[in-house]
């Protein structure tokens, strides 16, 4: 049994230390916003924040997380969808199928927290999430729109 700080609350997790954070979040805490896509940290559908940094949770073992680390999932990004990235995504109708979008939003939010006015080159370098539908131009536009709101 170990404690994790998830979305501002300390929660108990009963899992082997090698268990990926994704499965602890989904299976034990019922936080299903982070999705399983590839299982090898390539697609980014499982992106969450650990201490403000975008992490691919499908390969991030819970042993690597300290109780003092702050984990934020899409459910904890904002209680009411008011985060600038979430607002921009809705306003610009960024997703198509939507499967990858929680990971995209989390990656974009982390980027904007560290670089409030990213260029297209910054976005291309930092947002490595894969979108099967190919909405990359709308993702880029959404990040710029969210940057203008902050």
Q: What is the pLDDT of residues 124-143, one digit of tens each?
A: 999 999 999 999 999 999 99
Q: What CATH number does the domain located at 84-149 have?
A: 1.10.150.120
**Do the domains at 2-77 and 84-149 have one common CATH topology?**
no
Does position 149 have pLDDT exceeding 90, yes or no?
no
Q: Report yes or no: 127 and 108 within 8 Å, Cβ to Cβ.
A: yes
The DSSP secondary-structure symbol of 68 reads T
pLDDT tens digits for range 82-110:
999 999 999 999 999 999 999 999 999 99
Looking at domain 2-77, what is its CATH homologous superfamily? Beta-grasp domain (3.10.20.30)
For the segment 115-122, the average pLDDT, to the nearest whole number, is 97
- How high is the mean pLDDT of the chain? 96
Residue ranges covered by each domain of the chain: 2-77, 84-149
The DSSP secondary-structure symbol of 25 reads I
Among residues 54, 85, 84, 89, which one has the least CA distance to residue 71?
54
Q: Report yes or no: 95 and 135 within 8 Å, Cβ to Cβ.
A: yes
Q: Is 28 exposed, middle or buried (0-12, 13-18, 19+ CB in 10 A)?
A: middle
pLDDT tens digits for range 3-22:
999 999 999 999 999 999 99
């Amino acid at each position: 049994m170990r404690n994790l700080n998830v979305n501002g609350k300390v929660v108990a997790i009963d899992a082997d230390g090698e268990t990926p954070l994704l499965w602890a979040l989904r299976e034990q805490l019922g936080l299903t916003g982070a999705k399983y896509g590839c299982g090898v940290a390539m697609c980014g559908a499982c992106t969450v924040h650990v201490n403000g940094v975008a992490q691919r949770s499908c390969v991030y073992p819970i042993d690597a997380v300290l109780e003092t680390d702050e984990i934020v999932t899409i459910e904890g990004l904002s209680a009411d969808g008011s985060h600038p990235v979430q607002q921009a995504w809705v306003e610009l109708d960024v997703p198509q199928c939507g499967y990858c979008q929680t990971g995209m939003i989390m990656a974009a939010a982390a980027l904007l927290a560290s670089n409030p006015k990213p260029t297209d080159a910054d976005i291309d370098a930092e947002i490595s999430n894969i979108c099967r539908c190919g909405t990359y131009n709308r993702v880029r536009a959404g990040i710029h729109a969210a940057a203008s709101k902050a």
